[in-house]
Amino acid sequence: MKYIFTLFVWALSLSAQQSTTASARWQITADFYGTTRYYRLDLDQRDAAHLSGTFSGTKLTGALTGGHLSLSGKADDGGDTRFDAMLQDDALTGTLSFGDPSAPPLVVPFTAILVKPLVRATPQTHEFNPTAYYRQFSPFYKPVLAANPGDTIHTTTVDAGGSDAQNIKRIAGGNPQTGPFYIQGAQPGDTLVVHIDRLKLNRNTAGSDDQLVQSALSPDLAVKTRDNNKGVTWKLDLEHMTASPDPSSEHLKALNVPLHPMLGCIATATSPGGAPPPTGDSGSFGGNMDFNEIAEGATVYLPVVNPGALLYFGDGHALQGDGELNGNALETSMDVTVTVDLISGKRLGFPRVETEMQIIALGYSGYLDDAFKDATSNMADWLMDDYKLTPSEVAQFLGVAAHYRVTEVADRNSGVALKIDKALLKNLSAPQKSQ
């Protein structure tokens, strides 16, 4: 699924005498009292003196005269928003003033660069051998590699405990991540597309345990399982692609479960304006989603908040039942191959996944009831945006087409997936979804 942001950019000129236009999407970097924040500004220039635009949902009007840009508008809460900047060499520099109408306006310096249409280079494959791993989905770690949209990255991940393919501890545990990967041309407000080409298991053991997480325990079951607290090693048979506990207890001796490798974590870095989430957390940025359909062949869609997107992944699971009921799945290291892409100008509220047969909207929240609402809202937006359904049609369609799964309950956030069969989507007589 592609969404081409319709962008008409004419030559910009410092000379007010020439016919110029600032009609474009701008990526703003603001210095917010010492903290960097990114914003998106869309401008449309009717003629030399008349500009209109949108900034964080506020409609703006103004002019570009003699290289000086001046814009203002009223936010929904009545607060004034003003831009005052100079245009030079496809860049704006100036001040942005906004805030609550009952308080003095916040005035912050900013620079803005023109978001250029995505130009696709010949796809390349990058080999990356990580030497460090990170335990925050942070925008502050230096990118390890820059890839273009269309490029493929082959790398490795350590297990959730920080051990590699040789079972050698490389870093303390807690879902250490490989990355961040910088995706050229990714701007705040875009969607990062990550196609999972290959998840190759690279050792014959995985670690788990025999407890059930608190979110799965009724009082009755808590009493019955009160003595569970044991690490369990699973042997991975990479030839037959099955797993068995080893050593095994009495009744699990013949248990041989098909492997289904997946990534527990996949994320874009969060805003530099807030504290980066630890790699046990999940949210709009993706993160520790622990969804067992984020596997080979799946495509994951994530919102871009930082320039370059800053893609992280890790926490490979050789196999995981729904919910990650043990707190750990079958935690192991992996060789990972992904191909990245961008949907310019489209930003998601929550991650989405596409598999061969289904589209899947995810929701993550502290309670399953709220995650259920988030997943439903995410899918409703998908159907309204890409399949042009009205709200009434969304309700009728979901009423017969929705499949809900619980993805995980092991962490601070629980997750719900809303899945729709692509076979049914084909029957929607929609204006074809944007390419």
- What part of residues 310-349 is at the interface with a second copy (CB under 8 A)? 319-326, 329-330, 349
Residue 381 CB, shortest distance to a second copy, in Å, is 8
Q: Is 150 exposed, middle or buried (0-12, 13-18, 19+ CB in 10 A)?
A: middle
CB within 8 A of 312, min separation 6: which ones?
134, 137, 177, 178, 179, 180, 181, 265, 266, 267, 268, 269, 279
Side-chain-side CA neighbours of residue 272 (13 Å): 19
Instruction: State which H helix or E strand residue 374 sits in.
Output: helix 368-386
Residue 222 CB, shortest distance to a second copy, in Å, is 9
Q: What are phi and psi of 365, to 5 degrees?
A: -160, 170
Residues 220-239 that bind a second copy (CB under 8 A): 220-221, 224-225, 227-228, 230, 232
Residue 433 CB, shortest distance to a second copy, in Å, is 12
Of 55-63, 128-136, 242-250, 351-359, which part binds a second copy (CB under 8 A)? 242-250
The smaller minimum CB distance to a second copy, of residues 48 and 252, is found at 252
Residues 415, 294, 287: CA angle, nearest 5 degrees: 55
Of 33-41, 114-122, 153-161, 216-224, which part binds a second copy (CB under 8 A)? 216-224
Alpha carbon of residue 367 to chain centroid: 20
| 430 binds a second copy, rule: CB under 8 A | yes
Amino acid 158 reads V
Residues 59-88 that bind a second copy (CB under 8 A): none
Among 148, 199, 128, smallest CA distance to 309 is for 148
Residue 210 CB, shortest distance to a second copy, in Å, is 4
With CB under 8 A, what is the number of residues at the site for a second copy?
78
Residues 357-376 that bind a second copy (CB under 8 A): 367-370, 372-374, 376
Q: Do 133 and 178 contact (CB within 8 A), yes or no? A: yes
Q: Which of 167, 202, 215, 355 binds a second copy (CB under 8 A)?
A: 215
CB atoms within 10 A of CB 430: 13
Of 74-82, 191-199, 214-222, 264-272, which part binds a second copy (CB under 8 A)? 214-222
The smaller minimum CB distance to a second copy, of residues 197 and 393, is found at 393
Residue 391 CB, shortest distance to a second copy, in Å, is 4
Residues 36, 38, 43: CA angle, nearest 5 degrees: 140
Residues 380-419 that bind a second copy (CB under 8 A): 380, 384, 387-406, 409, 414, 416
Residue 209 CB, shortest distance to a second copy, in Å, is 8
